[in-house]
Structure 1
Amino acid sequence: MLRARTRTEKDVFSKTERLKQALETADAVLIGAGAGLSASAGFTYSGERFHRYFSDFEAKYGFHDMYSGGFYAYPTPEEHWAYWSRYIQVNRYEDAPRPVYDSLYRLISEKDYFVLTTNVDHCFQKAGFDKKRLFYTQGDYGLLQCCEPCHRQTYDNRALILRMVEEQKNMRIPTALIPRCPKCGKPMAVNLRSDDRFAEDEGWRKAAGRYADFLHRHDGMHILLWEIGVGYNTPGIIKYPFWQMTAQNPNAVYACLNSGQAVCPGAIQRQSICIDGDAGMLLQALLAPEESYE
C-alpha cells in the first residue's frame, strides 16, 4: 500500500515533472555545476570522510575539514605536499562514492549539451561526458603549474602525486619529490584559481572558446539553463549569468537544483523551476520519478 504524498513531496514531484518535460523539449542544455553536485556524489570535505583520511593532520594541526587544511600554512614544503598529495588522491584520483554524475550523464547524453563548472575533481569526464563539452573554469586538481607563473603551461601530476602518497612518512614527503618548475626552478602549485597567478593554459582557453561558441549557436533558442549545486562563493561564474541569460531569452528555461538555496529572481520566476533537495536524489527522480516519490 502506497502512502499519500505530503504537500512538499507533491510540490517536488510536480516540479520534477516540469523539469523532465523541459529537458525533453529543449533544443540544448547548458549545465552549470557547483560543489553541491560533488558533495551529493560523496565528495564531502568534513565529517567521517575527513577523519578517515586526515585524522593525523587534524590531531597535529588542529583544523577540522579538508578545505581548511588546504589553506593551512605548513612549516615545510614536505608537509604541505604530504597534505595536498593525499587530498588530491582522494578527491581527484579516487572515484566518487555515489554514481550521481552517471545519473546526470544518462539524462543528457543524447542532448546537445555543454557543461560549465567550478568543480575541479574531474568527475564529469569519469562519468563519460565529452571533454570538448566541458569548461572547468577554476582549474583541475590533476594539474600543476609554476607558482609565479613564469609560463602558462600546466603539467599532469598523477604519477607524482601517487608517489608522494606512497612514500610519505609522518606527514612529510621525501624532499626529492617537491615539484619545481621545469623552466624557472621555483615551486610548483596546484592549478586552482585563487588569485591572478592562476595559469589559464591552452586547454583552458580552448574550452572557454567552445563555451562562447555554444552560447552563440543557441542564442534565442529554447535552451535549458540547468544549475546544479551552485552556491554563493562564486555566483558571478554560473548563477548570475544564468539568471541574466534567462531574462534576455523568453524561450529559455532556468532550472535550479540545490539544497537550501533553490531560488531565482522574481523577474524570471515564470521561466524557472527551483527544486530544493539533494542533487543525487533529484536526478534519480528525473530518471524514474514515480519510483522516487511514491
Structure 2
Amino acid sequence: MSSRISTSPSTGSSLAELRAALDRAGAVVVGAGAGLSASAGHAYSGPRFETHFADFIAKYHYRDMYSAGFWPYPTPEEYWAYWSRHIWLNRYAEDGGAVYGDLLELLRGRDYFVLTTNVDHCFQRAGFDKSRLFYTQGDYGLFQCSLPCRQTTYDNEKAVRRMVAEQENLRVPTALVPRCPACGGPMTVNLRCDDAFVQDPGWYAARRRYTDFLHSHDAGSVLYLELGAGYNTPAIIKYPFWRRTLANPDAVYACVNLGQAPAPKELAPRAISVDGDIARVLSALKTFS
C-alpha cells in the first residue's frame, strides 16, 4: 500500500472545510488512535507518568508507560504492581473529558461508526453507543489467560482496584496475582501485542458490526475521519481509510493530527489535512455551522 501511494505534508486545510465535509456526509467513519487520548491529557510520559509512577521510576529508571509495560519484572507480584496501577490510571481513574465529549457532540444525530486502536475505553465512558464501537486492539478493562487456554476475557475492575489499594514496596500480595479461572495459568491484560491475544465473542460481534457498516456505505457521501492515528499501526486505520476513499468518488478523507497529518496526493482534492491539537480542533469545529 505505502509503495503505491505517495503522501504530501499537511496542506493546512481550514476547519471550515472539515466542518463542511462533516455536514455533507451521509455517514462518518471515525478512526481513532493514541493521539486522540493524548490530546485529552492521557500522556504516557512527562509529568503525568512521573507523578503516578515516581516510586517505579526511582527503582527501574524507565521514562514512559510504554517501556514500563514491557519491562522484565522479576516476579509476578512486581509485574502486577506496575500493571494494576497502569490500568487503574488509564482505564478507571480518568475519562476522556471535553475531547471525547466534543467528538460525541459533533457526531450526535449522524450515522457513524468508530474504529479505534485505543484500549482506554474513553469512548464508552463519554457516552458513545457501544454498538457503534470496535476496539480492535483490546481493552485495559479485561484480563485473559496468557496461554491462552480459551478465547475468553474477564472483567478486571475489582481485581485491579484491590491490587492498587494493597500493593506495598512495588509488589502486590501474592494472593492477588490473577490466575486463569479455567486452567490456573497466569493471566495477562487483553492487549494485542503477540499471537496470544484473545478475540472473544464480543470482539467478533463488534468487528461484524463495523464490517456491515462499511459495506452499507461502499458508495455515497462518506467522511473517513482519522484522529491521532499516526504510523504505529497504519494497516488498521490509515491505509484502509485511504483505500476506501480512493474507491468511492463521493468519499472524503480527513486527518487531524499534531505534527503528522499528511494526505495521499492521489486523493486530492478529496483530502483534508489539519495539523493541530485534536482537542482544540474538535472544540473549534463546534463553532462552525
Structure 1 runs, 4 residues or longer, greater than 3 Å off: 11-14
Give a deviation string over 1:13-40, Cα, whole Å, max 9, x none: 9621011111111100000000000000
CA contact (8 A) 1:109 1:129 kept: no
SS in 1 for 2:143: strand
SS in 1 for 2:190: strand
CA contact (8 A) 2:12 2:274 kept: no
Give a deviation string over 1:175-202, Cα, whole Å, max 9, x none: 0001111111110000000011100000
State the partner residue of 2:70.
Answer: 71
Rounded to whole Å, the distance in 1 between the matches of 2:35 and 2:224 is 17
Shift of 1:265: 1.1
Shift of 1:94: 1.5
Between Structure 1 and Structure 2, the one with more helix by share is: 1
Shift of 1:289: 4.9
Shift of 1:97: 6.6
Q: In percent, how many aligned pairs have the same letter?
A: 59
Give a deviation string over 1:143-172, Cα, whole Å, max 9, x none: 000001110010000000000000000110
CA contact (8 A) 2:13 2:274 kept: no
State the partner residue of 2:259.
Answer: 260
Alignment TM-score, normalising by the size of structure 2: 0.95
AA aligned opposite 2:155? D
> Which shows bigger deviation, 67-76 or 91-100?
91-100
Alignment TM-score, normalising by the size of structure 1: 0.93
Number of equivalent positions: 280
Alignment of 1:126-165 (within 5 A): 126-165=125-164
Rounded to whole Å, the distance in 2 between the matches of 1:13 and 1:283 is 15
Give a deviation string over 1:185-227, Cα, whole Å, max 9, x none: 1100000000111000000000000001001111111100000
Name stretches of at least 5 consecutive residues in structure 1 with no aligned partner: 1-10
Rounded to whole Å, the distance in 2 between the matches of 1:105 and 1:247 is 27
State the partner residue of 1:171.
Answer: 170
State the partner residue of 1:187.
Answer: 186
SS in 2 for 1:99: helix
State the partner residue of 1:101.
Answer: 100
Shift of 1:122: 0.3
Name stretches of at least 5 consecutive residues in structure 2 with no aligned partner: 1-9
Give a deviation string over 1:257-282, Cα, whole Å, max 9, x none: 00111111110021000000100000
SS in 2 for 1:107: helix
Alignment of 1:27-38 (within 5 A): 27-38=26-37
Higher RCO, Cα 8 Å, sep 6+? 2
Rounded to whole Å, the distance in 1 between the matches of 2:179 and 2:268 is 51
Rate the CA distance shift 1:14–1:73 in 2: closer, same or farther, 3 A: closer
Give a deviation string over 1:25-78, Cα, whole Å, max 9, x none: 110000000000000001001110011100110110110111110000000000
Rounded to whole Å, the distance in 2 between the matches of 1:97 and 1:52 is 19
